[in-house]
Amino acid sequence: MMQRENERNGEAGAMKAKKSIQCKISGPMLLGVLCVLTAGEKSQGATLVCDIYATGGTPCVAAYSTVRALYGAYSGSLYQVRRADNTTKDVGVLAAGGEANAATQDAFCAGSTCTISIIYDQSGKGNHLTKAPGGSKDYGPAPDLEAVASDLPIYLNGHKVYGVHITPNSSWTGTTQVGYRNTKANGIAKGDNPETIYMVTDGTYFNGQCCFDFGNAEMQPVAGGYGTMEALYFGNNNWWDKGVGTGPWIMADLEVGVYNMGGSSNYSDANKNGNKTNNNDVSFAYPFVTAMLKGNSKNATNGGPFTLKGGNAQSGTLATVWDGAFPVGYFPMNRQGGIVLGVGGDNSGQSRGNFFEGVMTTGYASTATDNAVQASIIAAGYGKTTTTAIGAVAAKRSGIREIRWQKDALSVEGLESGKLLMVTPQGQRRILNVTGGQAYTGRLPAGTYFVRSLGEASEATQRFVVLP
């Protein structure tokens, strides 16, 4: 019953998100995307990651986070905690589209030890994650453990929340590994169908063992053949490909190998003799890292087919690690449509890592969508210990009921004349004159912009997103 209820919450959240966003694309070359923010809704709601993917035509089919909602209208549970007495409690959000209500966990787990028993899928597909079953007799035969719920406290936009702390096995056949899996997933890309995957992880907690993964895996916890996986790998494993420096690197676990580039030169087969260096795969040693993997189909002409990107989840843009061919032997792909978090396809779990959020979509997302997702992640406020209030308060205090950006001007409903303060993604401040409800901006680079009536308190801030 609880699972069905959460699925309904996810479906309702996705439907509400679609209804609440009114995005218009201006110009034949996608010069910008306008998201209308109406009075009474949180302005961040129009720019959360799964709303952005939906607008871009690559909807989320699995969406996980223990720290925040990934749809602007999502108000269901994010995860479930299990107390030592085996009773459980769902942890939801502070408000629709907001951060996790960690006080629920703290109160329920006071005086006891709690673990994360379910990470709920916010997409409405019901692809919830629970602890992984045992797999390969050589590399992960024991069932996995649930992560200790209080092991990874962080701040997100001024709120204390908890991530998922993945700890490793003491040996290949040990019984201490933490990992999650769904072997009955619904709607995940299979075969040669394209998909996009990203996660926010931790660049300070990792190792070179196999395999801290998130993404598409076999439906059963056994090793498959080439291309039966397509999951993000994060760490400094150098058995196959490797990056520069000491890591951690963003790579892809494609089964029988972990790669950060394509071509015949780094096809290693099972003897692990690849060891080719991709100089674009730098060490992503940020406290919070955005890691992205996009896999296209063989006959597609819209990019890739194998793309890896990464960046600082607190600031800046995404860097391209690889955008080109798959390794030899992996094309076309044979994706299996299961989901794994924290362990390899055969349940190998000697790796370590931290997970805060991640999604899987159907379809190969555009570069514009990639950039907007990164902007939305930055706007979430990872590591920020103070809260920036936005949204409904902004509309009430400033009198602005709705803002629209298109090509080179803002339309401001509710403010006929006056001045606006606009802050660019780079932190630059501009004063805009409003005349007849219009404020000229000129062409704007892609990113998230903040705007408020000059003289109003900071609580009156609203935001809008511009896509290339």
Cα–Cα distance for residue pair 4/347, rounded to 1 Å: 28
H-type alpha helices, 71-165: 102-109
In Å, what is the CA distance from 261 to each residue of 72, 75, 257, 274, 275?
A: 35, 39, 11, 11, 11
Other Cβ atoms within 10 Å of 429 Cβ, number = 9
Report which DSSP code applies to 147: P
Please enumerate, as own/partner, the contacts of 425-429 that have beta carbons within 8 Å and a separation of 24 or more. 425/375, 425/449
- 255 catalytic? Reply is yes
H-type alpha helices, 354-463: 367-380, 392-398
Q: Catalytic: which of 7, 195, 346, 357? A: 346
| 133 prior amide bond cis, ω within 30 | no
Angle at CA of residue 390, ends 387 and 392, nearest 5°? 135
Residue 183 identity (one-letter amino acid) = T
Cα–Cα distance for residue pair 120/65, rounded to 1 Å: 8
Cα–Cα distance for residue pair 51/93, rounded to 1 Å: 17
Q: Catalytic: which of 255, 281, 357, 370? A: 255
- 281 catalytic? Reply is no
H-type alpha helices, 78-132: 102-109
Active site residues: 255, 346
